[in-house]
Chain A
Amino acid sequence: MPGAASDSGGGGSAGAGALVPLSSETKQSPVYPLRHSVGPPVSPRVSVCWARGSSLRVSIFQQQSPSCGEGDVGGEVVEVKLSGGDGEISDAQWRRIAYGSMSPFAMLQSRRNSVSTLSRISPSPYHVDWWEFVMEYSKDINALLGSPRSTPASVIEDPKTVLKKSEKPTSLKAAWELMELFYADKLSQAWLPERLIDWLADYDSLFSGSCATVHSKLVDFQNELINIQVIEDNPRYWEVIGSALAVGWLEIVVKLLHLHGSYQLDQLSSRETESGLVEAVAVLISRMPRMRLELGDGRLGECYKAKPDFIKAWEKWRAQITKMDCSAYWIQCNHLQTREGLKNLLQIMLGNTNSLSSATYHWLELYVSHFLYVRPFTVGLESMHGLAQKCIQLKPVPRSQKLMGLLLGILGENTEVVLAECSKQFGPWMVAHAIELMTAGSDEAESLLCEEHYNLGELSIQELHRLVYAQVLSSHAFTWQIAPVYLTSCMKQGMGLLEILLCKQPVQHNELLHKNLEICRLYELDSVSSHIMKIAGVHHWKHGRKGAGVFWLQQARDEFRLHKIAQQLFASVGKSISDESFKQWEGLIELLGSESKTAGGLEFLHKYRDFKRSLKHIHDGKSIEAAQQAVESLMLLMKNPSTPQRFWLPLLYDSLKLINWQDRPVLNVTQTNLLLNRLQELSIARLRPDFVEADLPSQALSAVRLALATNLGRAILEE
């Protein structure tokens, strides 16, 4: 699955299939070994923790004993991805599929929303076309699962290449196409058997693994072909032709027939009858009537869209075969193998069940051969299902084959089985996406899948599987960003899970943090984003990045924490008011200053910063303007009730230069009086037990008092 780190076999996908079983059958749950490198004795005490998404971390410890085992490793932590990978598709490929399927899925959801909005305004006409949207979606997804099957033929065709080599098909793609043709593609409903024949032609090779198939026989024969001298003498030649014909691979059959020795120029004259018979059969084969929408380029057969036309053509064709079967030329054919081989082909075309059965290997092959030659008019899932049952009885296959359960579920119109098979064989991605096809397929399926279940916490099956898939996506750093698309499509619980997912993202790295906040903004999750910013703010503050800390706490509008920070700053300011410490928090005050009202105490710090700055400007002791500005700042500070009392003396002590200004007094009488009053208040406050003495020279107070008194005298004289 997407997000699976590595699948090293051992049972494949733990839980992937079993996530929420639909059947209630009680069976033994699977047991998986957890490999680790902890030396013996291993303690039975293991510890577990869920990481983001569906990965589980297990700590394994070494037993504590006096004679502890060797080595210096006392335990190990292993991670188990519960959405275990799939041997067929690599992790990178899965991620590509996960990314690629996101936008078709999102597109379909937005269409659903707009359609449902429209149908509320004016009902009816929009519902009709819904399956077309689903088809578009299905085609987009299908394109991701592998390249289109019909590989263009090479310019110079090797006459001895019967089977074209193409990309190995995946059963995932096969399953998707199966679901598409049965559920989504309304155009194919009337031609289901024909579509199934085409489907098998594309994917027959998938079944070769555990049993013989027409495909595998053809591959074997092709490999031998170069070494065979007289091809028509070889019984396998006739065997594979019969098999290919039985499953409807007409092009291959005709091509093989043309390899017949009688076509060779040097033999043409001596084997005229033989060659004529071969050609006659080849012509019959290439004229086989098919009831379907279209036949691709280079495909043999004749295509009929309307049933009456088809019936007429079919009957005519069958009559031709019967006539051919009774032809007098057979007696003149001396080559026994050719005669019997061709006769067998005629029997296949006439729908002789014994011939069909012996020409096919897998029940699906027998199944499509019945559609082709025995029951070309089969319609309806019920009869298709009945026929499938019969074919399985004749040709049982190992139960483990991946697509069998799915196909039988579809034919049996059992939504639950289809869902369970999708989940078991192909994992959460498949279920989450295929449900869109199933709901388009029938109203019954839709109501089953969209109905809310109390036992699931009022979830629908559809939503449940989206949540499960989103959780799989969440477990990998490369894919978690896709998860919100699926979560937001869940009406009931998606947002809840999205909030948890976002809150579990680490905040230390700015890039990730911004990405995270962007997602919050997109889905209007303000409380989550402020929670995340709070975590980031505290993290930075506590790790020495005070500025970043304050910034994020401000973004989070966390007034309580900012207030505490301001108090902390006061404390540090109160301790020493030297220029050294001023430099340290000047930047912070700058930051806090922009929204100083968020915390009352910060207002003071802001003013204090201004005061300190203006004091610096008057260092040369000449600029009267600067001095007056500093006085303004000082007065603002001393008047302001938010200025803590313990700063009064340090502030005044800092201002000694101002108060003792040489040229003329810069403080007027009123100002000086106010400062003297403050000094008086301070003297009274000092008597209280909780008074905190400022860290200043002992003569500071008297120095300030003297300076103020002197200034008062000068000011009175001035005025």
Chain B
Amino acid sequence: MEKSLLKLDKGTTCTSWNYSGDRLASGSVDGTLAVFDLRHPASSSFACTSRTKVDEGSIVKIVWVPPEYGDAVACVCEDGTFSLWEELTEDSLPVQWKLCERFKSSSAKVLDVQFGVSPSSLKMVVASSNGYVKVYELTNPMELKNWQLQAEFQNVIDLVSPSSKTLCLSASISWNPLRGEGQGSSFVLGFSSDSPQLTSSKVWEFDRAHQRWLPVAEMALPDDRGDQVHGVAWAPNIGRPYEVIAVATEKGISIWHLSLNVEVDGRLSVEKVASLSGHEGEVWQMEWDMSGMTLATTASDGTVKLWQSNLKGSWQEQATFVPT
């Protein structure tokens, strides 16, 4: 049933597949970015095509830039900086990975970076350890160098802002994966932090009329607002009349339906439709399949689990994979 695709380098800490699943970027403890490619389109064997030193410290996360902006990745490092690297061929030199931009901040560590495509431009959301979220916009679609800071805000829904000495340990961002024309951009964001106001997952939507980001929904029941969020995942929607978002907190995974209709107060109504228990320990990663019907999760128990809803709308564990 399982088949080995490739072997990772010594010291590899994270991996990330590109949009088509025929390139894998891996990051290692010594700051090396390795890229693996299919040997040829019909084969299923991969080979390492480049190794680039991107940082002195360990890489903790790699995120691919959407393909219409080139073959590029963001590498988040352990020290809280991140850099953008792009594969380029210049002036008849062989193809190589080049640094586009390095983002550093003395005040806070970067916890998560995710890219979202809006009809006009590429947007990048960066969540930091001080609880702030920055949204950047790419000014020239042919170059990943020039980023303009479009907005900066905290993950709070009411106006009372949390104390300034907030410390967040992890953050999770997930963009609404739909790319249709005329669709506004939105993403969901949650923190694991010592400030209960910041933690709960909220959906942020760009209000084009006023050129600002607004929180339109909160994915937490009143009693659970302070729960540490370990992961969020927005499911692809191929035609459902509502959106589906998975949120993993210290209490387990929950599935939320997000209505597409705006209510009077400008919010979107949400409904928690399922609580999925089965993982022992903290959930690390959640990934929806391309139809948005199956959710794959991993956790500190070292297992991979698959979840699906049946016809009655009840979510169930479908399978568990245990590396042996």
Contact = CB atoms under 8 A, between A and B. Distances in A.
Nearest to A19: B308
A457 B300 CA distance: 32
Contacts of B179: 503, 531
Contact of A74 (B8, B20, B238): B8
Interface residues of A, number: 103
Contacts of B296: 48, 50, 56
Interface stretch (B128-136, B202-210, B215-223, B284-292): B284-292
A34 B87 contact: no
B239 A561 contact: no
A29 B304 contact: no
Contacts of A49: 15-17, 21, 287
Interface in B232-271: 236-242
Interface in B302-324: 302-306, 308-314, 316-324
Nearest to B313: A455
Nearest to B297: A48
A442 B113 CA distance: 53
A416 to B, nearest CB: 9
Contacts of B312: 24, 455
Contacts of A72: 9-10
B1 A74 contact: no
Contact of B240 (A7, A458, A461, A505): A458
B2 A35 contact: yes
Contact of B20 (A58, A79, A505, A534): A505
B7 A76 contact: yes
A52 B20 contact: yes
Interface in A556-593: 560-561, 564-565, 568
Contact of A509 (B41, B69, B70, B88): B41
B4 A76 contact: yes
Contacts of B239: 457-459, 492-493, 495-496
A73 to B, nearest CB: 5
B89 A543 contact: yes
B67 to A, nearest CB: 5
Contacts of B153: none
B86 interface: yes
Nearest to B58: A64
Residue picked from B20, B44, B300, B314, most chain A C-beta under 10 Å: B20
A696 interface: no
A471 to B, nearest CB: 6
Contact of A57 (B21, B26, B313): B21
A504 interface: yes
Contact of A503 (B19, B71, B241, B303): B19
B323 A60 contact: yes
A45 B284 contact: yes
A36 B1 CA distance: 12
Contacts of B303: 46
Residue picked from A45, A47, A52, A68, most chain B C-beta under 10 Å: A47
Contact of B291 (A38, A455, A497, A541): A497
Given A49-B16, A496-B239, A542-B87, A79 B302 contact: no
A152 interface: no
Contacts of B200: none
B312 to A, nearest CB: 6
A504 B290 contact: yes
Interface stretch (A8-16, A105-113, A431-439, A626-634): A8-16
Contact of B311 (A36, A42, A453, A509): A453
Contact of A78 (B4, B13, B241): B4
A651 interface: no
Contacts of B301: 44
A397 interface: no
Given A79-B3, A538-B69, A456 B28 contact: no
B42 interface: yes
B7 A75 contact: yes
A565 B68 contact: no
Contacts of B22: 506
A34 B2 contact: yes
B14 interface: yes
Nearest to A7: B1
A35 B15 CA distance: 19
9 contacts: A46-B323, A48-B296, A50-B289, A54-B294, A62-B10, A77-B24, A79-B3, A458-B239, A538-B69
Given A29-B316, A504-B21, 11 more contacts: A20-B309, A20-B311, A21-B310, A21-B316, A31-B320, A32-B319, A454-B313, A458-B239, A500-B291, A507-B20, A508-B41
- A-B pairs, top 6 by smallest CB distance, nearest first, are A496-B238, A455-B313, A457-B240, A544-B89, A75-B8, A493-B239
